[in-house]
Structure 1
Amino acid sequence: MELSEYLRVLRAHWIGVLLLTILGTAGAGAYTLTQPKIYAANANGVVTVASEATTDPAVGINNDTLAKSKAVSYVEIATGRAVAQRVIDDLGLQTDPAGLIGDISVTQPLNTTLLKITARASSPKLAQQLADAWVKATAAEVKEIENPNDDIPNAVYVAPIESAELPSTPVSPNPPRNLGIGFVLGLLLGIAYAVVRSRLDQRLRSSTDFDKEFGVSVVGRVPAIKQLDDGENNGPAVLAVSKSSGSAGWEPGEAFRKLRTSIAYMDVDNPPRIIVVTSPQPNDGKSTTAANLAAAIAISGQAVTLVDGDLRRPSVADGFGLVEGAGLTDVLIGRVTLNDVLQDSPDFEGLTVLAAGSIPPNPSELLGSRAMHSLVQELARDGMVIIDAPPLLPVTDAAILARECDGAIVVLSHGRTVRQELQDALNSIFSVKGRVLGLVVNRVPRRESGTGYYTGYYATSTVPEGVGSKAARKGRRVSR
C-alpha cells in the first residue's frame, strides 16, 4: 500500500483508530495505577590493594591492574547468596537470599575499580538501607575470601566510599513512559485495524478505483443530504435540488449538472439520447437520480422525456406531483395513444413525463417488446429520453431496457453497495450486450464529494439543444 492509500484508509476508519488509541493509552494508565511503587538507592564501593606507601610508579600500576582484575570477579561475589544472607542477618529481614538478590543489581564500570550497587525496595528507607548494607556485606565477604586473618600483605579488599541517599521519587512505575508505550501500541493497533477492515470491507466508496476494479468510470458523485435520503420517492428534493443555482448549500444540484455535462460529452459524434438509470438494489437513489438528471437537462434548454420504466414500484409521476392513472403500460397495450398520457412538468419547461400507468403482471415482457422499442425511438426523435428502470439484481427489467437503449447509468450507494452486488449488476447488463455509460456514486459524504471547489462553475453551462423543438412536441403534451 502507498502512503496515500494508508491515509485514505485512516480517514475512512478514523473513529476506530481513535478509539483504539484512546483504549491503549487508558490501558497503560490503568496498568500504571495498579503497579506498586518501587524506589531505588545507589551505594558505591571501591576495590583497592593494601600496600605500604611507595614512590615507585611500577608498584602503583601493578596494584591498580590487580584491583581492576579483582573488581570484575567481585561482581559475582556481590550478587551471591552469601552476601545476601549477610544483609538479611544484618537488617533482620523476613525473606530468603534468592528473593533478595532479585532486588539488587551490581555493575563495575569498565576500566575502573568501582562497584556500583543499586537496591530496589517498596519504600525509600528500605532501599537506602539495602544499598548501604549490601556494600558492607560485600566488603566483609571479600575480606573473608582474600584475607580472613589479616596477615596477608598487599591484600585486596572492598571499601565503602559513598553511602546511599534517601530516594525521593519512585523509579517504577514510570507514567510518562507507560502512557507513551500505550499510546504507540494503541495507535499501531488502530492502524492495523483500519488496514484489515479496509481489506475485509467490501462496501464501495467514492474513493474506490472503479475503473481498475470494474472497468467502468464514475460519471457523477452526489453528496449525501437529507432531502435525497428519504427513499426513492423524493418529489420535493427533485424540485429543490434541480432548481438550485449552485450555491454552497445545494451541492447536489451542481452534482446533477456535472452529470448532465459528463453525459453530453461522452461521445461528441454520437451522444447517448436514450439512457436507462438503474441500480443494483432498491433504495440506492436511482429514481431520484433519474428525475434530477432529467430536470437538469431541461434547465439547460434541451427537450427531455422522463419515462417511468419501473413497472413494479413506480414513483416518477408522484415525485413531480403529476397524474399517475394512465401511462406507459397503457400505451404499450394500445389502450391509449402516447399523446393522451404525456404530461408536461409544471416546474421545468421542456421536461415531459410519461408515468408508468397500470402495474402489469408481466413487466419484463412489456419492457422487452417491440412496442417499447418503437415507443422510446419515437420519443428520442424529439429530445433525450431518461428511463427510470427497476434495480438490476431483483429483476431483469433494467438489463432488458439497457439492451434496447444507448446505455445505462448505474447508481450505487456510498458505503452501502458491496463489490459483489455491483459486479453482478454490471454482469447482468453485459450478458445481454448492453452498454454501461458510467456509475453514479450516491450519498457521498460532503468531505469526500469534492463539489465545494466547483460550486457554481457549471451553473450557467448548457447542453446543446437536442433534435426537434419544444414547439414540435407541444401539441402532443397534455397537462395534468
Structure 2
Amino acid sequence: MPQQEETMNVREVVTTLRKRFWMIVLVTLFFVVASAGITYLVMTPVYQAKSELLVNKSQEGNKPGTISRNDIESNLQLIETYSVVMKSPRVMDKVAQKMGEPNRTSALTGQINVSAVKDSQVISIEAKDPDKQRAAKLANTVAQTFQQEIVTIMNVDNVQILTEAKANAIKAPVQPKPAVNLAIAFVIGLIFSVACAFLLEYLDNTLKTEEDIENHLGLPVIGSIAVIESDDKTSVHSLKERQTHVAAAGENS
C-alpha cells in the first residue's frame, strides 16, 4: 500500500510538471534573459591588475650576495606583517596623493588585495578598477610606495619589485562573470518556476476527472455525461428534425 501511494505521488508530480511545462520554461527563460541584461547592460566591468614584491634582500651579517636560511625564515615571518602595513593609512595616504585622489584613501584601500604567494617570499598586490590603466597604476603605486616607506617604518631594506602591473596584459574583466551569473539565474528561475507550478496545482481545487471525484469525495463514479462537440450537436439536431418530420408524416397519413 505505501509503495502504491508513493507511485501515485510520483505520477502526480510528473503530471504537474508536464501540465505546467511551458510556464516553467518561460519563467526560467525570463530569469536568464533578465540576468543577461543586467550583466551586459547594467553592471560595470571591473578589471584587475597585479604587481609582485620579493622579500629577499636582507644581507645584514652575511657576505654580499648570499642569503642564509635564517634570512629566508625571517622574511617569511615578516610577509604577514608587510601585508598589514601595506594597507595601513601610513602607506595608503601617500598612495592616494600620488594617484591624485587625496580624499579617497579608504576607497583605494578597498580596491586592493594583498596576499602572500604560498610557500614563497613573494607578496602579490592585486588592484581592481573599471579602468585598465588606472588598475595597473594603482597596483604599481602601492608597490613602489611600500618599498620606499618600509625602510623608515621598520628600518629594513629587504623588499624589491619583482613584477610590475601592465594594462596591456589585462585581457578580460574579472567582474561580472557572465557564465556564472547566467548559471545562477537558470537555477533560481527553475526552482522558482517549479515551486509556482506546484503552488498553482495545490490552489486549484476544481474536479476535472473521475479519479479526482473518487479521491476527494470518496464516492464511486456510476456514470458520466459525454461532452457533445459542435459537429455532434448538429447531428443530434438533424436527427431530431428527421424524427419530427417522420412523426408529422405519420399523423398526416
TM-score for both structures, normalised by structure 1: 0.43
Aligned CA distance change for structure 1 residues 55 and 37 (closer, same or farther; 3 Å): closer
Aligned CA distance change for structure 1 residues 221 and 115 (closer, same or farther; 3 Å): farther
Higher relative contact order (CA 8 A, sep 6+): 2
Aligned CA distance change for structure 1 residues 6 and 139 (closer, same or farther; 3 Å): farther
Trace 1:49-68 onto structure 2 (pairs within 5 A).
49-51=57-59, 52-53=62-63, 60-68=68-76
Alpha-carbon distance between aligned partners in 2 of 1:171 and 1:220, rounded to the nearest angstrom: 68
Trace 1:124-143 onto structure 2 (pairs within 5 A).
124-143=132-151
The offset of 1:12, in angstroms, is: 1.5
Contact 1:39 1:172 in 2 (8 A): yes
Aligned CA distance change for structure 1 residues 221 and 81 (closer, same or farther; 3 Å): farther
Residue number among 151, 170, 173 corresponding to 1:170 in the alignment: 173
Q: Which amino acid aligns with 2:205?
A: Q
Q: State the match for 1:274 in structure 2.
A: none
The offset of 1:55, in angstroms, is: 10
Answer yes or no: is 1:199 the counterpart of 2:202: yes
Contact 2:54 2:159 in 1 (8 A): yes
Q: Which amino acid aligns with 2:82?
A: Y
Aligned CA distance change for structure 1 residues 96 and 204 (closer, same or farther; 3 Å): same
Alpha-carbon distance between aligned partners in 2 of 1:94 and 1:35, rounded to the nearest angstrom: 27
The offset of 1:116, in angstroms, is: 0.9
Q: Which amino acid aligns with 1:181?
A: I
The offset of 1:199, in angstroms, is: 1.2
Contact 2:93 2:102 in 1 (8 A): no
Alpha-carbon distance between aligned partners in 1 of 2:224 and 2:132, rounded to the nearest angstrom: 67
Contact 2:111 2:129 in 1 (8 A): yes
The offset of 1:61, in angstroms, is: 2.0
Alpha-carbon distance between aligned partners in 2 of 1:323 and 1:8, rounded to the nearest angstrom: 45
Q: Which amino acid aligns with 2:163?
A: E
Post-superposition CA distance 1:258-313 (Å, at most 9, x none): xxxxxxxxxxxxxxxxxxxxxxxxxxxxxxxxxxxxxxxxxxxxxxxxxxxxxxxx
Aligned CA distance change for structure 1 residues 81 and 55 (closer, same or farther; 3 Å): closer
The runs of 5 or more residues in structure 1 that have no matched partner are 148-154, 239-317, 326-342, 344-477
Alpha-carbon distance between aligned partners in 2 of 1:111 and 1:142, rounded to the nearest angstrom: 22
Contact 1:103 1:121 in 2 (8 A): yes
3-state SS of 1:40 partner: strand
Alpha-carbon distance between aligned partners in 2 of 1:319 and 1:159, rounded to the nearest angstrom: 103
3-state SS of 1:171 partner: coil
Aligned CA distance change for structure 1 residues 207 and 69 (closer, same or farther; 3 Å): farther
Trace 1:248-263 onto structure 2 (pairs within 5 A).
none
3-state SS of 1:170 partner: coil
The offset of 1:191, in angstroms, is: 0.9
Percent identity, please: 21
Q: Which amino acid aligns with 2:158?
A: Y
Alpha-carbon distance between aligned partners in 2 of 1:46 and 1:77, rounded to the nearest angstrom: 15
Q: Which amino acid aligns with 1:8?
A: T
Q: State the match for 1:145 in structure 2.
A: 153
RMSD: 3.4
Aligned CA distance change for structure 1 residues 38 and 159 (closer, same or farther; 3 Å): same
The offset of 1:99, in angstroms, is: 0.9
Post-superposition CA distance 1:126-151 (Å, at most 9, x none): 1111111111122223222121xxxx
The runs of 5 or more residues in structure 2 that have no matched partner are 1-5
Greater radius of gyration (CA):
1
Q: State the match for 2:3 in structure 1.
A: none
Aligned CA distance change for structure 1 residues 210 and 75 (closer, same or farther; 3 Å): farther
Residue number among 76, 82, 98 corresponding to 2:84 in the alignment: 76
The offset of 1:322, in angstroms, is: 5.0
Q: State the match for 1:235 in structure 2.
A: 233
Q: Which amino acid aligns with 1:43?
A: S
Post-superposition CA distance 1:419-467 (Å, at most 9, x none): xxxxxxxxxxxxxxxxxxxxxxxxxxxxxxxxxxxxxxxxxxxxxxxxx
Q: State the match for 2:120 in structure 1.
A: 112
3-state SS of 1:101 partner: helix
Contact 1:206 1:221 in 2 (8 A): no
Contact 2:17 2:194 in 1 (8 A): yes
The offset of 1:210, in angstroms, is: 4.7
3-state SS of 2:56 partner: strand
Contact 1:43 1:164 in 2 (8 A): yes
Q: State the match for 1:23 in structure 2.
A: 30
Trace 1:340-359 onto structure 2 (pairs within 5 A).
none
Q: State the match for 2:160 in structure 1.
A: 159
3-state SS of 1:321 partner: helix
Q: State the match for 1:123 in structure 2.
A: 131
Aligned CA distance change for structure 1 residues 4 and 80 (closer, same or farther; 3 Å): farther
3-state SS of 1:107 partner: strand
Alpha-carbon distance between aligned partners in 2 of 1:206 and 1:139, rounded to the nearest angstrom: 80
Alpha-carbon distance between aligned partners in 2 of 1:221 and 1:142, rounded to the nearest angstrom: 92
Contact 1:20 1:187 in 2 (8 A): yes
Residue number among 105, 108, 131 corresponding to 1:97 in the alignment: 105
Answer yes or no: is 1:190 the counterpart of 2:198: no
More helix by share: 2
Alpha-carbon distance between aligned partners in 1 of 2:42 and 2:223, rounded to the nearest angstrom: 56
3-state SS of 2:175 partner: coil
Contact 2:47 2:173 in 1 (8 A): yes
